[in-house]
A and B are shown apart, each in its own frame.
Chain A
C-alpha cells in the first residue's frame, strides 16, 4: 500500500515536470524569443530593463538572458550549428575577428546607423555603449596637483606611487605610453610597439596590473596604486560610494562595446529587429546610462541623461573636447595575439 502510494507520487511528479518542460519549449519554438548575452551582473539587468523589455512586450517577444559573453562558446555554437544566442555584447576587436571569420551575421539595411559614429559601426556590428580610459587618481594622495597628461602619468619623479594598468593588451596601455612619449593622437596607429615598451620600461617597477573592475576600484581608492588607467564608470561609481577618487578627462581614450548576432542564429531575424530598435532608442540608452554611467551611442540620447551623470560621460561636450582618440580595434583585431604574447613576455622578465 505504502509502496503503491510512493509510485503514484513519483509518477505524478514526473508527469508534471514533463508537462512544464513541454510548455517551456513551446514558447521557445515559435520564433519570438530573443536571447541577449552580455557581461552579466546588475549592469546587464539594467541594460535589458532599459532597452529591451518595453520593446519586447509591445512586439510579443520573450526576452531571455545569458551571461557572461564567452567568445569560445560563441565560436563553438556557430561551428556546431546550434546557436542559442541572439544578440551578444562583445569587445570590438572580437567583433572584427568574428566578422572576418564568418562567425557573425551581416547586419540588415533596416538598421538605421545614421545616429551612430562611423568608426563604431561595421557590417556585422553596432555599438552598445561607450566608455573612456581616463587617468583615475586618488584625491587624498594628489590633493593639490595630479597628472593631467599621459606624460605626467609616466612621470614617477613628479608624481610618485604605483600605476595601475589593465593586464590585457587591448587595455590602452600601449596607446597611453606612446601618447606619453609624444606621439600625436592622429599618428598613433599602427602602434609602434617597440617604442611603447621602451616607454613602459621607464616605469616598469611601478606598474601594477589589474584584472577586474573591482580590483581597479580597490587599488586606487586604497591608495595602493594612487594612479590608474581607469574605466571612467568605475571611478565614478567608487566616488559616488564616498571613495577619494576622481577621473582626469584630459587626453582620455574612447572605447566601446558592440552587438553582434552569431552566424546561423535561429533568432537572427528578431535580433536584427531589436538592434534596429536599439540604435534609435534614445531614451532607453539614456536610462541605461543613468543606471551605469556608460555613455549612450546614438546622437541625441544625451538629452535624456540625468545632468549629474551626463557630466561624467565621455559623450559630454566638455569631456569629449579633451579626447585624444578612439581606440582602433581594427588594428587590435589584427595584432592582439602577437602583442599579447609580447606583453606577457615583457611582464614576466
Chain B
C-alpha cells in the first residue's frame, strides 16, 4: 500500500522542492512522523499488546515444545491421531459453513436496514442486538428445547403430520450450525451495515440513468462497494467461530467436537498443558495459513483499509 496522504498532518512542502526525491522515498513521510512524536501515540497500545498478547503467546509456544519433556512429542501426538486432526478439520468446516450462512442471511438484512425508515432501522438494530443481551448458555439451551426430538419444532411437524419420525436437528452438525449462526449474526450484520450506510445510493441512480437494469446496477456498482464490509464480517465471524465451545458441546454430537472443547479438556480436564499448547499453536498456524491463502486470492488488506 502507498502512504495515505489524508493522514499526513505536516505542512505541505514548498512547491517545486525536490519533487523526484519525495516520490522515490515513499517511506519518508512515515519516518518523519515518528520524529514529530505522532508515532509515540502507538506506544501504549503496542506495550499493552506485547504484555497481554505476544508474551503469553510466546509462553504457549514454548510450553508446547517443553512440557512434559523437551521435544516434538506433543506435535507427534497431535498428527498421529486421526481424532485430533479430524477435530481441527471439523472446526474449520463448521466455521466456514457458519461464515457463509451468516453472510447470506446478514447481507440482505443489512441492506434492508439501509433502506428502512429511521424507526424501523432502530427496530431492526435492536432485533439483531438482542442476542448480545442474553447469556450464551441460555440461548443455546433454548435451542435444545426448540430443536430436540420432543422439541417445539418436531412436535409441531409431527402434530401436523408433516413427518412420521422426529427430524434429528440436535446432537449433529445441523444443531451446531443453527446455534452458531444465531450467535454470530450480529457480527456479520453490523460491519455490513456500517459499510452499506456509507455507500452513496445516487451511484445506483446514475448507473440506471446510463441505461443499466436495476439488478445490473446493484451487482456491478453497489455490491463491489460492499466488499470491505463483506470481508470484515466474514473475518470476524470465521475467527470467532473457530473458538466456539459451549454451542457445539450442547447442540452437537460426539462427531461435532470443535477444537476449543478439546483444548479445554486437555487444559482443565487431564491437565496436559503441553499438549493443549500444541493444539492451540496448531490452530493458530493453520488459521494464519488459511487467512494468508485467502488474502492472496482476495486482497483482504485492501478491503479492510477501505482503500479502493
Contacts and interface: CB of A to CB of B under 8 A. Distances in A.
B249 interface: yes
Nearest to A162: B149
Interface string B239-282: 00000000001100111010000000101111111000000000
Interface stretch (A52-60, A250-258, A294-302, A335-343): A335-343
Contacts of B151: 222
A71 B250 contact: no
A341 B81 CA distance: 10
Counting contact residues on chain B (CB < 8 A from A), the size range is 20 to 34
B86 interface: yes
Given A211-B249, A211-B250, A341-B81, A72 B271 contact: yes
B271 A97 contact: yes
Interface residues of A, number: 26
Interface stretch (B28-36, B120-128, B140-148): B140-148
Contacts of B148: 218, 222, 224
A223 B272 contact: no
B271 A341 contact: no
B150 A222 contact: yes
A344 interface: yes
A215 B144 contact: yes
A208 interface: yes
Name, among B250, B255, B268, B273, the residue most crowded by chain A CB atoms within 10 Å (CB to CB): B268
A97 B269 CA distance: 11
A347 B249 CA distance: 14
Contacts of A197: none
B284 interface: no
Contacts of B265: 340
Interface string B61-101: 00000000000000000000111001000000000000000
A348 B144 contact: no
A209 B270 contact: no
A261 to B, nearest CB: 18
A32 B145 CA distance: 47
A42 interface: no
Contacts, number: 58
Interface string A154-176: 00000000100001100000000
B81 to A, nearest CB: 7
Interface in A153-208: 162, 167-168, 208
B86 A71 contact: no
Contact of B254 (A72, A212, A214, A347): A347
B179 to A, nearest CB: 14
B171 A208 contact: yes
Interface string A61-89: 00000000011100100000000000000
A345 interface: yes
B270 A336 contact: yes
A162 B168 CA distance: 13
B150 A71 contact: no
Nearest to A75: B271
A72 B269 CA distance: 8
A208 B166 CA distance: 15
A212 B185 CA distance: 26
A348 B268 contact: no
A341 B262 CA distance: 10
A223 B150 contact: yes
Nearest to A336: B270
Contacts of A218: 144-145, 148
Given A72-B268, A223-B150, A348 B254 contact: yes
Name, among A162, A341, A344, the residue most crowded by chain B CB atoms within 10 Å (CB to CB): A344
B83 A214 contact: no
A16 B81 CA distance: 58
Nearest to B270: A337
Contacts of B150: 222-224
A344 B171 contact: no
Interface in A5-33: none
B272 A337 contact: yes
A345 B267 CA distance: 19
A348 B257 contact: yes
B214 to A, nearest CB: 49
A344 B83 contact: yes
A209 to B, nearest CB: 6
Nearest to A212: B250
Contacts of A75: 271, 273
Given A167-B254, A215-B250, 16 more contacts: A72-B268, A72-B273, A97-B271, A162-B149, A208-B171, A211-B250, A218-B145, A222-B150, A223-B150, A224-B148, A336-B269, A341-B81, A345-B81, A345-B83, A347-B255, A348-B255
17 contacts: A71-B268, A71-B271, A72-B267, A72-B268, A72-B271, A75-B271, A162-B149, A209-B253, A212-B250, A215-B141, A218-B145, A218-B148, A336-B270, A337-B272, A340-B269, A345-B81, A348-B254
